[in-house]
Structure 1
Amino acid sequence: MKPSVATSTSLTKTLGLQQIIALYIGSVLGSGVLLIPGLAAEIAGPASILAWLLMSILVLPMGVTMGLLSARYPSSGGVSSFVQTAYGERFGNMVGWFFLLSVPLGAPILSMIGSHYIAILFNWSDWQVTLCAGMILLSVLWMNTMGLKVAGRVQTIVVSLIVSILILAIVAAVPHASGANFTPFVPHGWLSVIQAAVLMFWCFIGWEAVTHLSGEMVDPRNAIRGVFWSAGIIALLYFLVALMTVATHSYGNDLTAASLSRMIQLSLGPVGGWFVALIALFICIASANVYVGAASRIAYSLSQKGFAPRWFGILHPQRRTPIGGLAFLSICFVLVLTALQLQLVNLSSLIALPNATFIATYIGGCLAGIKLLRDNRIGRIASWISLIFTVGLYPFLGWPALYPLAIAAALFFIGRKKLPSHMDQ
């Protein structure tokens, strides 16, 4: 049985290379670019730019692994389908739920981050911030209801704006750069460079999300082409932003949390704050767009295989979009935003949980790559490098590492049964 084929045949193939590249960039180039360059420079000083180069190289195998698997096994199930093909339906089901239960928490976090940047400009109250976050999520849900053809086009426009504003920030900082800011080059020792590199890992997560859209790629081989194009663009942008952060010394004390804003305001003044707010909003929309699209499709895939409620698999009668999965996400978004508004939970506590399930998803994907790509030398090496990297990181997650284990335990006791009628489909 090859469920990865069966679960993707009812979805419309609309994604070309341009949209795939935009989706990759939107999923990987996240809110970390607003904060991490300043934090990394504060930890390692000018030597932090070496950490950016190192991480750009180390995370490429992750993208290559996911891209090769998407090209060979295109499916709306994404990583879960890869794991199922390699190790059986029980493990595939588990990885699918890891990803699915990440997005109901992760997407509201992204929308709240974007809302906070806008709120600073307008001095909004807490309920206005939450309302804005809800509107961001509503727009993303609408785009995915209309279909990936619409969502992909919007993503291309949004990513183009993100790249343009980042380039503006880099260019604006050039006249204020000084070589004196690169000395001493390693003020805190070489160990600080490794510490900065670990922090940067969160800037490069996102390759797994696009695997769930591979069933709707016009040519699945574009998955790996998209990886190389997007990886190059992302690495270059991160490096240049980090370089200019150091060159203008836009970090340290109160500058670290707003290093990008500081860079833009060096030349543009207060209006630079508006550009930072816009890029924050665009980044959050782009990231949420990819993850909502991916999660709705994994919900559809799990339903088709009998591992989720049947209504998760409902498709729009005309557009063939997974409105059942989108409805599930909508319910979750309302609950999470309500909890945040009522201060039943805070963002700093909430954000650690999806990080843990994303890492667990990567580990599953890397293990699948080792088995499924063993006849591909590049794929085999990339899978092993990625596995060692992600497994080494997992113990450092702390208590949130228990979240994927709790999901696995719940599936073992109450989620193992699969509907016989679906098994034969």
Structure 2
Amino acid sequence: MENSAPHSSGLTKTLSLPHIVTLYIGAVIGSGVLLLPGLAAEKAGPASILAWLLMTILVLPMAITMGLLSAKHPSSGGVSTFVRLAYGDRFGNMVGWFFLLSVPMGAPIVAVTASHYAAVLLDWGPLQVYLAAALILLAVVSMNVFGLQVASRVQTVVVGLIVAILVLAVIAALPHAQVSHFTPFVPHGWLSVAQVAGLLFWCFIGWEAVTHLSEEFVNPEKNAVRGVLWSAGIVALLYFSVALLTVATHSYGLGRSEASLSVMVQLSLGPVGGWIVGVTALFICVATVNAYIGAASRIAYALAREGSAPRWFGLLHRKYRTPIGGLLFLTLCFALVLTVLALGWIDLARLIQLPNATFFATYIGGCLAGIHLLKESRYGRLAAWTSLIVTGALYPFLGWSALYPLVIAGLLLLWEKRKKTTVPARS
């Protein structure tokens, strides 16, 4: 079929609607579902479920904006391509680098998180934790070498298991739910609900990652938006159900908030529930890493095509037509970041602030592009404006890490200026 044929020199269209949906779910449902329901409930009490509901509504325009842009302009460059079309190459390349330099730190953080869950169950030491994280990253990179058709099939199985386990957790908690756990409803004031809403934004980041795979969508005009809507509905239902049952069973507080899902599952399943949550953590983290490594390797490929990255970033595998240049760059970065973490030069809490800032900057660029490129769609432009207002309002609260994208932008501008001055003039 024509839709599944490879481009003469580019990427192959292999991702159907089910693959797209599972990639979106895998990118968005991260370790936050294991950590934040309990922390949010501890900070805002039962009213935290209103914050979950609010963020579910607010992030929908963001997801729709990314889906509409992917449908209209499918490209491995993702958000950077949208910004390039709207505002020119300089800003497009800048946003591309924002995303590309997020993943070398973000993926190891997620892999180490998965390893820590395994360490609790298997009594591992620090060396085993980082070796396991390295193996997770290496396995996902290897899957992506063989193509997104292989990676997306694995993703479909993994996401299916994640959904099944989270549904099991909710069902297991139902007999222990009590109405009395919802009073007092706002024990810490309404300001705490607003603060929790900002915290929960991190649970819904991920829509931008799959835009970088849109060049490989089968029928992107139809499937990109459908994939966003299906996945957004599933993600919202899962998040809200887990958060609601966390409050209804009071599986938080007294030092239990960071493991609230485990506490909730063990109400019915006992110690075996700890193993279920540990396996869930591994699945969730593998799915997230898979989506982001696939996306980042393709933005590296796109930047090389645009001349904004070294040429070897654009190398494709001769047989599988996958971006092995970008995958090699990421692998080298992963080795460096894991080494820095293992040596204790920086901890996860501080490191995570840097990719968070560049993800925010990427979203802001995508929203600005959506306002320009979706002029003909009233709903598209409304979604883009709503997303821009939400992300722009939250950006100042990032603190010192908000400077990281500005540093990247400054270095890129200096590199471009130097490149122009070193190119010999033609006679």
Aligned to 1:161: 161
Aligned to 2:196: 196
SS across alignment from 1:308: coil
SS across alignment from 1:355: helix
Partners in 2 of 1:52 and 1:403 — Cα distance? 28
Q: Match of 1:300, as an amino acid?
A: Y
Query: What pairs up with 1:3-402 in 2 under 5 angstroms?
Result: 10-221=10-221, 222-402=223-403
CA drift at 1:419: 12
CA drift at 1:399: 0.4
Structure 2: gaps (5+ residues): 1-6
Deviating more after overlay: 183-192 vs 349-358 = 183-192
Q: In 2, are the aligned partners of 1:212 and 1:298 still within 8 Å (CA)?
A: yes
Aligned to 1:3: none
How much identity, in percent, do the aligned residues show? 68
How big is each residue's C-alpha offset from its partner over 1:73-127, in whole Å with a ceiling of 9 and x where there is no partner?
Answer: 0000000000000000000000000000000000000000000000111111101
CA drift at 1:192: 1.7
Partners in 2 of 1:209 and 1:8 — Cα distance? 25
Q: Match of 2:137, as an amino acid?
A: L
Partners in 2 of 1:415 and 1:309 — Cα distance? 12
Partners in 2 of 1:187 and 1:418 — Cα distance? 60
**Alpha-carbon distance change, 209 to 157 in structure 1, aligned in 2, over 3 angstroms:** same
How big is each residue's C-alpha offset from its partner over 1:140-172, in whole Å with a ceiling of 9 and x where there is no partner?
Answer: 101110100001110010000000110111011
Q: Match of 1:122, as an amino acid?
A: L
Partners in 2 of 1:251 and 1:113 — Cα distance? 20
SS across alignment from 1:59: helix
Q: Match of 2:200, as an amino acid?
A: M
Partners in 2 of 1:378 and 1:420 — Cα distance? 46
The number of aligned residues is 415
SS across alignment from 1:246: helix
Q: In 2, are the aligned partners of 1:8 and 1:215 still within 8 Å (CA)?
A: no
CA drift at 1:216: 0.3
**Alpha-carbon distance change, 419 to 54 in structure 1, aligned in 2, over 3 angstroms:** farther
Partners in 2 of 1:107 and 1:204 — Cα distance? 16
Q: Match of 1:20, as an amino acid?
A: I
Partners in 2 of 1:64 and 1:9 — Cα distance? 30
Partners in 2 of 1:230 and 1:420 — Cα distance? 47
Query: What pairs up with 1:398-417 in 2 under 5 angstroms?
Result: 398-415=399-416, 417=419
**Alpha-carbon distance change, 215 to 415 in structure 1, aligned in 2, over 3 angstroms:** same
Aligned to 1:4: none
Partners in 2 of 1:178 and 1:384 — Cα distance? 40
Q: In 2, are the aligned partners of 1:71 and 1:224 still within 8 Å (CA)?
A: yes
Q: In 2, are the aligned partners of 1:115 and 1:130 still within 8 Å (CA)?
A: yes
**Alpha-carbon distance change, 357 to 172 in structure 1, aligned in 2, over 3 angstroms:** same
**Alpha-carbon distance change, 320 to 418 in structure 1, aligned in 2, over 3 angstroms:** farther
Partners in 2 of 1:96 and 1:352 — Cα distance? 19
Partners in 2 of 1:373 and 1:34 — Cα distance? 36
CA drift at 1:353: 0.2
CA drift at 1:403: 0.5
Partners in 2 of 1:175 and 1:401 — Cα distance? 44
Q: In 2, are the aligned partners of 1:307 and 1:418 still within 8 Å (CA)?
A: no
Partners in 2 of 1:97 and 1:420 — Cα distance? 22
SS across alignment from 2:220: coil
Partners in 2 of 1:122 and 1:51 — Cα distance? 35
**Alpha-carbon distance change, 280 to 8 in structure 1, aligned in 2, over 3 angstroms:** farther
Q: In 2, are the aligned partners of 1:65 and 1:383 still within 8 Å (CA)?
A: yes
Q: Match of 2:377, as an amino acid?
A: N
Partners in 1 of 2:42 and 2:242 — Cα distance? 14
Q: In 2, are the aligned partners of 1:8 and 1:75 still within 8 Å (CA)?
A: no
SS across alignment from 1:398: helix
CA drift at 1:132: 0.1
Partners in 1 of 2:400 and 2:144 — Cα distance? 33
How big is each residue's C-alpha offset from its partner over 1:356-406, in whole Å with a ceiling of 9 and x where there is no partner?
Answer: 000000000000000000110010000000001111111000000111000
**Alpha-carbon distance change, 419 to 307 in structure 1, aligned in 2, over 3 angstroms:** farther
**Over the residues paired in the alignment, what is the CA RMSD in angstroms?**
1.5
Partners in 1 of 2:267 and 2:344 — Cα distance? 37
Q: In 2, are the aligned partners of 1:75 and 1:213 still within 8 Å (CA)?
A: yes
Q: Match of 2:328, as an amino acid?
A: A
Q: Match of 1:286, as an amino acid?
A: A
CA drift at 1:420: 13
Partners in 1 of 2:11 and 2:420 — Cα distance? 22
Q: Match of 1:83, as an amino acid?
A: V
CA drift at 1:415: 3.6
CA drift at 1:196: 1.4
Q: Provide the TM-score with structure 2 as the length reference.
A: 0.95
**Alpha-carbon distance change, 8 to 352 in structure 1, aligned in 2, over 3 angstroms:** farther
